[in-house]
């Protein structure tokens, strides 16, 4: 069964400058590797903060297994570049009220 989800990945606790830029690059490569680069945008939100977010719902099959993989691998990707970073992965669902 397929479902539509929103995804955001927020990374904080980064050193401004080079570490922040490296995390943005690593997240961009991660999204490309998982075929999410067309669905998500990566941006530096503030000094020491990087975010990736979906503008529109992403259609996913077998959400549970896929979500676990995306959460774990996104955290691993960031921590390879910035071991002390805090990574917050959040999902939103079409039937949720904002």
Please name each of the domains of the chain with its CATH number: 2-93 (3.30.70.930)
* pTM, entire model: 0.90
Q: Summarize the confidence of residues 66-95 as an average pLDDT.
A: 94
Instruction: Please tell me the distance from the alpha carbon of residue 80 to that of residue 94, in angstroms, as a whole number.
Output: 32
Q: With bands split at pLDDT 50, 70 and 90, how would you rate the model's confidence at 84?
A: very high
Q: Summarize the confidence of residues 33-52 as an average pLDDT.
A: 94
Q: Summarize the confidence of residues 3-27 as an average pLDDT.
A: 95
Q: Does the pLDDT value for residue 45 go beyond 90?
A: no
Instruction: Please tell me the distance from the alpha carbon of residue 75 to that of residue 58, in angstroms, as a whole number.
Output: 20
Higher pLDDT, 22 or 94: 22
Q: Does the pLDDT value for residue 96 go beyond 70?
A: no
Determine the pLDDT at residue 95: 63
Determine the pLDDT at residue 22: 97
């Amino acid at each position: 069964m397929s479902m539509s989800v929103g995804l955001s990945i927020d990374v904080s606790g980064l050193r401004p400058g080079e570490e922040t830029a490296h995390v943005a690059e690593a997240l961009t490569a991660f999204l490309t590797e998982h075929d999410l680069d067309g669905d998500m945008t990566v941006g530096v939100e503030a000094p020491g903060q990087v975010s990736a977010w979906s503008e529109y719902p992403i259609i996913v099959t077998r959400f549970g297994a896929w979500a676990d993989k995306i959460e774990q691998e996104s955290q691993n990707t960031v921590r390879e570049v910035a071991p002390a970073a805090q990574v917050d992965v959040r999902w939103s669902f079409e039937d949720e009220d904002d």
